């Protein structure tokens, strides 16, 4: 009966598939399976679960040779601090042999926990889930023969990148340290700046497979509780196998996916995060990346730099105006050129018009195609410059400058005016302080070019209206994106495109920080040099005269 066998085979295969599926689901998820008491079984289980991986180190040590009580120290090489393990665990176990004989009333497990393991953070691990969690995070697990519990000691360590100056968001004045890939270091960098017990950190593991440490940081009392709760809830809702960068988190918790504008701010600078925490925002740190997310984010943040607060107010204000201008240039400069030359020649001053027309005489394309060619080739150059190895960089710049700049003009394919426009746009785009917004401006620019090519300035203006509607419709964790401009919050306007002197910024952002604590500057902090004038005695003044 061949058919019978066939069916059995199929059901067997199905069973196998099911089993595989079950194990797939179970990856890294041991539930609350308790530990066996025999040391050998425990070691075997660890070995089989980790697939005899080479970097899982298991060091056995006798606690009592006569009674046959053995212990094993398990850790993972590379992510734990081997020196600490040697000095305070293995060495300590060997030195304290037969200690329990002096205290016959006490449990061996307790003795090991209290007296043998000479480390600060020691945890009791009741099941395999916690054992593996500790192990994989770089902690060390101490297994004892005859015990169904294990001990976990904090020995995280291993090679890390040292604290360096952040590559993005460079400032002239301001601290030079940047975040690293280690979440512990990053938290410490922030805590060093805000030495206050109200700086709270919550840790959670996100990612079914990667089990990445993600922590929320906020200042209790300044951050709005609803926003903190919302952040926590959105993070808890995440169910994904891996979190490799904060971008994963960003995309999973943001309010609106279908937009080019970032609704979460990211930064590499601890002082930036500290400043935002003090405004009542919540920071989301992800292990394995130096980029920290900040929520809620408003649009105007992307035009601000930390240095604005370190430098003089007037300079900061004018720089912010410049950045807004830059943003608009990088969006509509090529579009305006297209609109001006194709539709509204009468609006260009006569002499300029003649100059442009003379340049464009040999150009075989309409202005839109010309602009498109230039913009696209610039984008190609730029992408090449970012991805290529550094050594090839100079070759690219030569090719770019010669071919696209000079040769294209000399060949009469594009007009010099167009090259100027593209160059200004490109520089404006680079000058935008936030990379995230610069990217979105890059995309929008092309839409505006199409609008300008079809409807001239009417198209551009309609585009701006749509852009404004889109921006005002966005929200970041419930806070309207264009706050405090729309909805207008007069007392927050001091720190938008303006940056008034610090003593006049009396309150924290109204919609973002908690209602209970909004005062930032107490009393009247306006410097009063009148009192210091008296320090110079009048007599001396007279004498000098």
Partner 1 sequence: MEKAKIGAYQFFVLLLLFELGSAVLVPIAIGANRDAWIAILISTVGGVLLFFVYYRLYKFYPQLTPTEYMEKLLGKFFGKILAFAYILFFVYISARVLRDFGEMLLSFAYVDTPLFIVNTLFILVIIYALQKGIEVIARTGELFFNLLYLLAVIGFILIISSGLIDLNQLKPYLEQGWTTVFNVVVTETLYVPFGEAFVLSVILPYIKDTKKIKYAGIAGIVLSGINLSLVMAINISVLGIDLATRSQFPLLTTVQSIQIAEFLERLDVFFMVSMVIGIFFKASIYFYAAVSGTTILFKFKEPSKLVYPIGLVILFMSITIANSYSEHLKEGLDLTTRFLHPFFLVLAPVFLLAIAYVKNRKRKKK
In sequence order, the 6+-apart residues with CB closer than 8 A to the CB of 66 are none
**What's the min distance (Å) between Cβ of 110 and partner 1?**
60
Could you identify the residue written with the tokens 């994106």? 481
Nearest residue to 234 (alpha-carbon basis) of 212, 251, 259, 217:
251
**What's the min distance (Å) between Cβ of 480 and partner 1?**
6
CA 239 from centroid of its chain's CA atoms:
19
**What's the min distance (Å) between Cβ of 487 and partner 1?**
6
Return the SS3 of 327: helix
Please give the Cα distance from 24 to 9 (Å, whole number): 22
**What's the min distance (Å) between Cβ of 454 and partner 1?**
9
Are 324 and 471 in contact by the 8 Å Cβ rule? The answer is no
**What's the min distance (Å) between Cβ of 207 and partner 1?**
34
Q: Of 10 and 324, which has the nearer Cβ to partner 1? A: 324
Q: Of 435 and 458, which has the nearer Cβ to partner 1? A: 458
Element (H, E) at 315: helix 313-342
Q: Of 296 and 480, which has the nearer Cβ to partner 1? A: 480
Nearest residue to 61 (alpha-carbon basis) of 43, 35, 36:
43
**What's the min distance (Å) between Cβ of 468 and partner 1?**
5
Q: Of 350 and 519, which has the nearer Cβ to partner 1? A: 350
Please give the Cα distance from 288 to 161 (Å, whole number): 11
Q: Of 41 and 256, which has the nearer Cβ to partner 1? A: 256
CA 1 from centroid of its chain's CA atoms:
64
Are 333 and 460 in contact by the 8 Å Cβ rule? The answer is no
Q: Of 402 and 488, which has the nearer Cβ to partner 1? A: 488
**What's the min distance (Å) between Cβ of 372 and partner 1?**
21
Site of interaction with partner 1 (CB under 8 A): 343-344, 346-347, 349, 455-459, 461-462, 465-466, 468-469, 471-473, 480, 482, 485-488
Q: Of 81 and 342, which has the nearer Cβ to partner 1? A: 342
Are 92 and 118 in contact by the 8 Å Cβ rule? The answer is yes
Could you identify the residue written with the tokens 């500290």? 274
Please give the Cα distance from 444 to 438 (Å, whole number): 10
Report the chain's terminal Cα–Cα distance, integer Å: 125
Please give the Cα distance from 299 to 496 (Å, whole number): 10
Q: Of 347 and 402, which has the nearer Cβ to partner 1? A: 347
**What's the min distance (Å) between Cβ of 172 and partner 1?**
31
Q: Of 30 and 458, which has the nearer Cβ to partner 1? A: 458
**What's the min distance (Å) between Cβ of 281 and partner 1?**
21
Query: What residue spans of 388-511 are helical by DSSP H?
Result: 393-399, 408-410, 416-431, 435-473
- Tell me the HSE value of 50 on the side-chain side, using a 13 A CA sphere: 21
């Amino acid at each position: 009966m061949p058919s019978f066998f066939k069916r059995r085979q199929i059901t067997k295969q199905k069973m196998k598939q099911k089993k595989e599926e079950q194990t797939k689901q179970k990856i890294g998820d041991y539930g609350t399976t308790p530990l066996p008491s025999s040391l050998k079984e425990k070691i075997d289980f660890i070995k089989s679960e980790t697939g005899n991986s080479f970097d899982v180190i298991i060091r056995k040590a006798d606690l009592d040779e006569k009674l046959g009580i053995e212990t094993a120290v398990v850790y993972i090489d590379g992510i734990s601090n081997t020196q600490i393990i040697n000095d305070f665990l293995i060495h300590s176990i060997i030195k304290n042999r037969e200690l329990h004989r002096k205290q016959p009333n006490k449990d061996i497990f307790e003795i090991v926990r209290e007296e043998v393991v000479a480390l600060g953070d020691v945890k009791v691990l009741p099941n395999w889930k916690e054992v593996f969690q500790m192990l994989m995070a770089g902690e060390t697990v101490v297994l004892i023969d005859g015990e169904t519990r294990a001990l976990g000691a904090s020995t995280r360590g291993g090679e890390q990148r040292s604290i360096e100056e952040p590559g993005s968001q460079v400032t002239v004045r301001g601290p030079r340290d940047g975040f690293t890939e280690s979440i512990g270091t990053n938290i410490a960098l922030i805590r060093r700046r805000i030495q206050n017990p109200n700086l709270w950190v919550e840790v959670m593991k996100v990612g079914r497979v990667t089990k990445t440490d993600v922590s929320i940081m906020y200042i209790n009392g300044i951050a709005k509780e609803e926003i903190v709760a919302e952040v926590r809830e959105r993070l808890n809702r995440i169910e994904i196998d891996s979190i490799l960068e904060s971008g994963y988190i960003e995309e999973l918790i943001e309010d609106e996916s279908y937009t080019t504008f970032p609704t979460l701010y990211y930064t590499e600078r601890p002082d930036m995060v500290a400043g935002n925490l003090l405004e009542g925002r919540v920071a989301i740190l992800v292990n394995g990346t130096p980029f920290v997310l900040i929520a809620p984010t408003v649009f105007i943040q992307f035009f601000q730099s930390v240095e604005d607060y370190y430098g003089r107010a007037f300079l900061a204000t004018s720089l912010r105006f410049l950045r807004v201008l830059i943003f608009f240039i990088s969006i509509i400069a090529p579009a305006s050129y297209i609109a001006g030359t194709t539709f509204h020649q009468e609006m260009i001053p006569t002499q300029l018009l003649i100059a442009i027309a003379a340049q464009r005489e040999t150009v075989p394309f309409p202005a839109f195609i010309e602009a498109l060619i230039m913009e696209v080739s610039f984008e190609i150059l730029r992408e090449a410059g970012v991805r290529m190895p550094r050594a090839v960089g100079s070759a690219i710049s030569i090719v770019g400058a010669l071919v696209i700049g000079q040769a294209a003009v000399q060949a009469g394919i594009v007009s010099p005016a167009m090259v100027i426009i593209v160059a200004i746009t490109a520089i404006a785009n680079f000058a935008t302080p936030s990379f995230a917004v610069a990217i979105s401006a890059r995309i929008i620019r092309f839409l505006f070019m199409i609008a300008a090519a079809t409807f001239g300035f009417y198209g551009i203006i309609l585009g701006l209206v749509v852009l404004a509607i889109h921006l005002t419709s966005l929200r970041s964790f419930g806070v309207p994106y264009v706050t405090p401009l729309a909805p207008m919050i007069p007392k927050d306007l001091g720190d938008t495109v303006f940056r008034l002197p610090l003593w006049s910024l009396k309150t924290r952002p109204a919609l973002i920080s908690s209602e209970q604590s909004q005062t930032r500057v107490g009393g009247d902090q306006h410097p009063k040099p009148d009192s210091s004038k008296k320090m110079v005695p009048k007599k001396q003044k007279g004498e000098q005269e």
